[in-house]
Structure 1
Amino acid sequence: MKDTTVASLDDVLERILRASREQDPVSVEAIMSAIGERSFGALLLLAGFVVLAPIIGDIPAVPTVMAVFVFLISAQLLANRRYFWLPRWLRGRSLKAQTLQKAVGRSRRAARFVDRLLKPRLPFFIAGSARYATATACLIIALVLPPMELIPFSANIAGLALSLFGLAHIARDGLLALIAFVFTLAGIAALVYGFS
Structure 2
Amino acid sequence: MEDSKKGSDAPDSLDGLLDNFSDAAEKNEVSLDDLMDMVGRRSFGSLLLLAGLLTLAPVIGDVPGVPTVIGVFVFLIAGQLLFGMEHFWLPRWLLNRTVKGSHLEKAVQWMRSPARFVDKMLKARYSAFVNGTAKHVIAAVCIAVAMSMPVMEFVPFSANAAGVVLTAFGLALIARDGLVALVAFVITGLSYFLIALSM
Q: Same-fold call, TM > 0.5? A: yes
Query: In the alignment, what sits opposite 1:35?
Result: 39
Q: Matches of residues 72-87 of structure 1 in structure 2 within 5 Å? A: 72-87=76-91
Are the structure 2 counterparts of residues 39 and 19 from structure 1 closer, same or farther at C-alpha, using a change threshold of 3 Å? farther
Amino acid at match of 1:8: S
Please report how far the alpha carbon of residue 20 of structure 1 lies from its aligned counterpart in structure 2 after TM superposition: 2.5
1:42-62, CA deviations, whole angstroms, 9 ceiling, x for partnerless residues? 111111111111111110010
CA contact (8 A) 1:157 1:186 kept: no
Question: 1:9-56: per-residue Cα shift (whole Å, max 9, x none)?
Answer: 1122222222323x3200000110121111111111111111111111
Gaps of 5+ in 1: none
Which one-letter code corresponds to 1:37 in the other structure? R
- Tell me how far apart the structure 1 counterparts of residues 198 and 35 of structure 2 sit (CA, whole Å): 33
Which residue in 2 is equivalent to 1:179?
183
Q: Could you say which residue in structure 2 is the equivalent of 1:62?
A: 66
Matched to 2:49, the amino acid is: L
Q: Deviations over 1:122-179 (max 9, x none)?
A: 0000011111011001000001111011111111111100000011011110000000
Change (3 A) 1:6 1:169: farther
Partners of 1:187 and 1:101 in 2: how far apart?
A: 29
Worse overlay, 186-195 or 98-107 = 186-195
- Which amino acid in 1 is paired with 2:171? L
Q: Counterparts of 2:170 and 2:164 in 1: how far apart (Å)?
A: 10
Where does residue 194 of structure 2 map in the other structure?
190
Matched, 1:9 2:17: no
Between the aligned residues of both structures, percent identity stands at 49
TM-score of the pair, normalised by structure 1: 0.94
Aligned-partner SS, 1:26: strand
Alpha-carbon distance, 1:75 to partner: 0.4
Does the CA-based 8 Å contact 2:125-2:176 persist in structure 1?
yes
Which residue in the other structure is 2:55 paired with? 51
TM-score, normalised to structure 2's length?
0.93
- Counterpart of 1:156 (choices 154, 157, 160) is 160
- Which is worse superposed, 87-96 or 34-43? 34-43
Tell me which amino acid in the other structure corresponds to 1:69: F
